[in-house]
A and B are shown apart, each in its own frame.
Chain A
Amino acid sequence: MNFIRKFYYGDIPEEKGGAKTESKTSGHDWPLWEVFIRSKQGLDHKHVGSLHAADAQMAIENARDVYTRRMEGVSIWVVESKYITASNPEEAAELYDPAADKIYRHPTFYQLPDEVNHM
């Protein structure tokens, strides 16, 4: 039983204030892709969002149109969302909390002799 109806772009009919689409099914069965953009200043690709596309080539072009219109990027990576494995938020306690009381893992824990400059 599916109680929650998820609305995609174009699902809401025009007479109810939604956008008109030429075909009701188009695009909805395209997989989701995550987009990473490297900016002019940055060295790393940063996650900027996601989009739908039929294949990798279309995903790159869609990303170009959706995410680099205001000169944000010089390089684009896309990866199909299903290939990303995420950590489970419910396991956050066992994954991250143990690091909280290990202050000796930070360089600031150690007293440096005055003779060591520029650290």
Chain B
Amino acid sequence: MSALIDYTLHLADNTLILGQRNAAWCGHGPVLEQDIAITNISLDLLGQARLFYQYAAHLMDNTDEDKLAYLRTEREYKNLLLAEQPKGDWAQTILRQYLFSQFQQILYQQLQNHPDAQLAAIATKSLKETNYHVRWSSEWVIRLGDGTEESRNRMMTAMDELWRYTGEFFIAAPYEIELGIDLATLKTVWDNKVKAVMEEATLPVPEKTFMHTGGKTGTHTEHLGYILADLQYMQRAYPGCEW
């Protein structure tokens, strides 16, 4: 049971933290239409986070979705390191979204058949949103990678910055092993899909690089603490406050 709780929290934290990151674009997008697009994605992710937190709270005692989101420390958060990285410029936001959504898409496809009915149901519901995120972000990756010299350079910088956090997707945490999440199969699929998009975007995929890990088990980069400070300040300063 505790593996299922941990895994559900891992999925919830991924979506909450990336949703929070993307929300920072609200009112600051490069053009109005893309401002709305990225914040739509942010809301989709927040919606998914709520479903996972509600399910995790249901499996636990004396807690609810708000307590799980607002009252856990960074060592208790299990999100992927990629999700917590700064939003950077538009290229970095786009590339992170694509790398993440592409993983989320194939993961949700697999989770649709998971023996746990609730996880399977949330995956099925969320997959439609994720399909759109993949479509939107991959088209932007291609547009920017195969665009101007400026956009291409920014994409290359983003790739240097972010690629090192993708290895973590496929390194199983103890709770993933216990639940039998098949990350090896996902890696093959993800590699092929990402390769195809990067080829079209004329962006080189980095060869062997050092891959950072730890997010899944609560060892985070320095960025997560700042996100949580923003996110949790109100609940910690005024416990139980509502508006």
Contact = CB atoms under 8 A, between A and B. Distances in A.
- Do chains A and B interact in one complex? yes
A108 interface: no
A114 interface: no
Interface in B23-45: 27-37, 40
| Chain B binding surface, main DSSP class | helix
| Chain A binding surface, main DSSP class | loop
A65 B90 contact: no
A9 B32 contact: yes
Given A62-B33, A65-B37, A19 B27 contact: yes
Contacts of A62: 33-34, 37
Contacts of A10: 30-32
Nearest to A61: B136
A95 interface: no
Interface residues on B, range: 10 to 19
Contact of B31 (A27, A57, A61): A27
B171 to A, nearest CB: 33
Contacts of B28: 19-21
B143 to A, nearest CB: 7
Contacts of B36: 65-66, 69
A21 B136 CA distance: 20
A14 B205 CA distance: 36
A69 B129 CA distance: 12
B139 A52 contact: no
Contact of A23 (B30, B35, B135): B30
Nearest to B27: A19
Contacts of B143: 54, 58
Contacts of A65: 33, 36-37, 40
Nearest to B140: A58
Given A22-B89, A22-B90, A61-B136, A51 B33 contact: yes
Contacts of B136: 61
Interface string A7-42: 001100000000111110011001000000000000
A22 B37 contact: no
Interface of A: 9-10, 19-23, 26-27, 30, 51-54, 57-58, 61-62, 65-66, 69
